[in-house]
Chains A and B, each alone.
Chain A
Amino acid sequence: MKKKYMNPYLAGTLLGLVLLAAMFISGRGLGASGGIKYCVVSIVGAVDKPHAEKSAYYSKYFKDGQKPISNWLTIEIFGVLAGGFISGAVSRRLKFKIEKSPNISKARRLALAFAGGVFFVYGAQLARGCTSGAALSGMAVLSVAGFVTMIAIFGSAYLFAWFFRKNWI
């Protein structure tokens, strides 16, 4: 039998302490989309080195012999995978499944998940951070960018929610 989720205020306190530790030890916030970007930069560098060297975008990540795969954010998201796995194991939630509303097909769920990923990470590159790197970490250091990004993400999701309601409720 799977265990219940942690009380949200307690889980929030735990998450806040992890963020505080990142600020106190490493002088930075938490991130997720940044690590995804470094994975892509590494793959492009491995597959097509001349393209990466020519491009103004990719080349800055390889300057001075840097390796994007050993960036702080890349290693951190591998930690997120490990931490999620430990939590799932402790609470007996490890299971291969496609989670979806019974009203939609598996194919529709997977297609929307893929499309949502494209949108979210594209937007996160533009805004220089996602819900964790820009909104959560940004608010914790009182940055205007953090508050504005948070309001833009949640505000627009509420506006779009009506159009996507049949996929969820």
Chain B
Amino acid sequence: MGPFTSVAGFPQWLDLLIAFLIGTGFGFALEQGGFSSSRKLAGMFYGYDTTVLKVFFTASIVALVGSQFMSYFGLLNMNLVFVNEYYITAAIVGGVIMGAGFIMAGFCPGTGISALSIGKIDALFYLLGGLTGAFLFAETYPLIQPLAEGAYRGPVKINEALGLSPGLFTVLLIAGAAVMFWLAEMAEKKFARPDITEQI
């Protein structure tokens, strides 16, 4: 029964080997999906390419449905899987700062690494900026600590907050994603930019 690392108590070398292999799969999937191209990623915000939405929601739904089936059949103990802790202000303010960075650079950290791996020099500059951003955060932490650690709500689950079962919430999320996929396909036709999409 999973997760094996904590249930079986894997030694550190094996844990890190797994980290490398999972990272390899992650980088491979991102690059195959076209996330190594900033102009493709930025298309999400101008409508000419909505790959980000399609890949992102398909991936989260596959993992969500898969983990719930595994849990149902007793293969995975979901209580041992990390659930992100909710700090209201930090999640919103941090998210808004990330959104600004996204539209300036056309990358998020994972896609930036994926772009660097195939030789994009702009991605190298992005990641140097990323290292600088992490350094600035560490050095300004005493100033920003009240915001970072305030309004703490714990590892809250969204279905519980809404009073729904995990299964029902998942079904609603899939329905919502289907609507968004349909809108995304329409947007790609309406805002088509063959001059850009032919180059990426």
A-to-B contact residues, CB < 8 Å: 5-6, 8-9, 11-30, 32-33, 36-37, 39-41, 43-44, 55-58, 70, 72-73, 75-88, 91, 93-101, 109-161, 163-165, 168-169
A130 vs B114: C-alpha distance in the bound complex, in angstroms? 15
Residues from chain A with Cβ under 8 Å of B18 in the complex: 25-26
Residues from chain B with Cβ under 8 Å of A135 in the complex: 56
Given A27-B80, A130-B108, A122-B95 contact (CB < 8 Å): no
Q: 22 A-B contacts, Cβ less than 8 Å apart?
A: A6-B32, A13-B59, A21-B22, A25-B5, A26-B15, A26-B19, A40-B131, A76-B23, A83-B25, A84-B27, A84-B114, A88-B118, A93-B36, A113-B106, A125-B137, A126-B90, A131-B108, A136-B56, A139-B60, A152-B92, A157-B102, A158-B99
B138 x A40 contact (CB < 8 A): yes
Complex: chain A residue closest to B46, CB-CB: A169
B26 x A79 contact (CB < 8 A): yes
Given A44-B135, A126-B137, A127-B91, A12-B59 contact (CB < 8 Å): yes
Which residue in B55, B92, B98 is a CB contact (below 8 Å) of A8?
A: B55
Q: Tally the A-B contacts, defined by beta carbons under 8 Å.
A: 526
Given contacts A70-B16, A76-B19, A117-B132, 12 further A-B pairs with CB under 8 A are A5-B51, A25-B3, A33-B109, A79-B22, A83-B23, A95-B119, A127-B95, A131-B108, A131-B109, A150-B95, A157-B102, A165-B46
Residues from chain B with Cβ under 8 Å of A9 in the complex: 54-55, 58
Task: Tell me the interface secondary structure of chain A in the complex.
Answer: helix
Complex: chain A residue closest to B137, CB-CB: A125
B22 x A30 contact (CB < 8 A): yes
Given A36-B134, A136-B56, A27-B3 contact (CB < 8 Å): yes
A113 x B107 contact (CB < 8 A): yes
Would you give the 0/1 interface string for B43-82, flagging 1 where the beta carbon is closer than 8 Å to chain A?
0111010010011111111111011001000011010111
- Interface size class, chain B: 35 or more
A17 to chain B, nearest CB (A): 6
B-to-A contact residues, CB < 8 Å: 2-6, 12, 15-16, 18-34, 36-40, 42, 44-46, 48, 51, 54-64, 66-67, 70, 75-76, 78, 80-88, 90-123, 125-138, 141-142, 144, 147-148, 153, 155-159, 161, 166, 169, 193, 196, 200
B121 x A97 contact (CB < 8 A): yes
A127 x B98 contact (CB < 8 A): yes
A80 vs B193: C-alpha distance in the bound complex, in angstroms? 30
A150 vs B70: C-alpha distance in the bound complex, in angstroms? 25
A164 x B114 contact (CB < 8 A): no
A135 to chain B, nearest CB (A): 8
B116 to chain A, nearest CB (A): 7
A57 x B138 contact (CB < 8 A): yes
A124 x B109 contact (CB < 8 A): yes
Residues from chain B with Cβ under 8 Å of A82 in the complex: 20, 23-24, 27, 117
Given A118-B101, A144-B161, A83-B28 contact (CB < 8 Å): yes
Given A94-B118, A123-B94, A22-B85 contact (CB < 8 Å): no
B26 x A30 contact (CB < 8 A): yes
A24 vs B16: C-alpha distance in the bound complex, in angstroms? 15
Which residue in B23, B105, B116, B119 is a CB contact (below 8 Å) of A112?
A: B105
Which residue in B45, B84, B121 is a CB contact (below 8 Å) of A98?
A: B121
